[in-house]
Amino acid sequence: MARKRKGNKIDGWLVIDKPYGMGSTKVVGRCRYLTKAQKAGHAGTLDPLATGVLPIAFGEATKTIPYLVDARKTYKFTVTWGEARSTDDAEGEITHKSHIRPTGKEILTQLPLFTGKIKQKPPAFSAIKIDGKRAYDLARAGEEFEIKEREVEIFSLKLLDSSHDQASFEMDCSKGTYVRSIGRDLALSLGTFGYISMLRRTKVGSFDIASTISLEKLEELVHSAPLEETILNVVTVLDDILALAVTKEQADFLKNGGFISRECLPPSSLTGVTYKAMHGDILIALCMLDEDHLKPVRVFNL
């Protein structure tokens, strides 16, 4: 018999405006402590010096985290010119200096080089694993190692403001994009050095800043209002997945790992497509439809 988890059974999403100086894991821990939830996790790490949209999944919503991790993200960030830092952000030590300061016009000429599918090398201080060890642990230990370039996609990169020492940008990008690498490489393309001095994530998938609450607000809410009014439905992050209505009998069958014959489904159902099987408003399972059957891939206990 499986051991019963301690805490409240909470299923759904909460979007926190992550505070400056706090790690993503600590934010999850704080949310779990305040809500007394049985299980919680986050979708997409933010550096301690970054702020903004940090989606927190509770209970059965943790099964949908991969769908949000893969989503597009939007950031606003500032690059400070003239210094390279060991971490590519304000936390690191100065490693190089330059007197060169790019103008707004010069910056604009380089932005097309950082738009579309590009190759970038993640920062040395990152969570990338090198032979089973985190890059930031190796970097802190002073060990030499090589991080391979990876392909990411930048859907848009806009210059918002430019002054003598800094420039501010907004970027819409794919998963796996390191903003610190963008700032570092943009500076190098302009013949100088630079580091990220401000970073704020403003959107993850369908979640934006308007969706967020602060940790302080969450603390107020858990003492003054039903938490259900704040928690977003598990299916919130599955808007792009087609819904398929199932009967109570079919729902029970899927929950127990059973397959549903294609003959029992609408003729318009598409082969090779992932569906979210719904009984009314309740998410039953994520399923794949092949030539003969609808097969559950991920079952939910809601």
Residues whose CB falls within 8 Å of the CB of residue 268, separated by 6 or more in sequence, listed in order: none
Residue of 17, 47, 88, 185 with catalytic role: 47
CA distance 181 to 89: 10
Per residue, the 3-state secondary structure of 272-298, as one string, reads CCEEEEEECCEEEEEEEECCCEEEEEE
Helix (H, G, I), strand (E, B) or coil at 21: coil
CA of 156: how far to CAs of 72, 178, 294, in Å? 11, 14, 38
Helix (H, G, I), strand (E, B) or coil at 198: strand
The residue to which tokens 């990338």 are assigned: 128
Active site residue 131: no
Using DSSP bridges, classify how beta strands 94-97 and 282-289 pair: parallel, antiparallel or unpaired. unpaired
Catalytic residues: 47
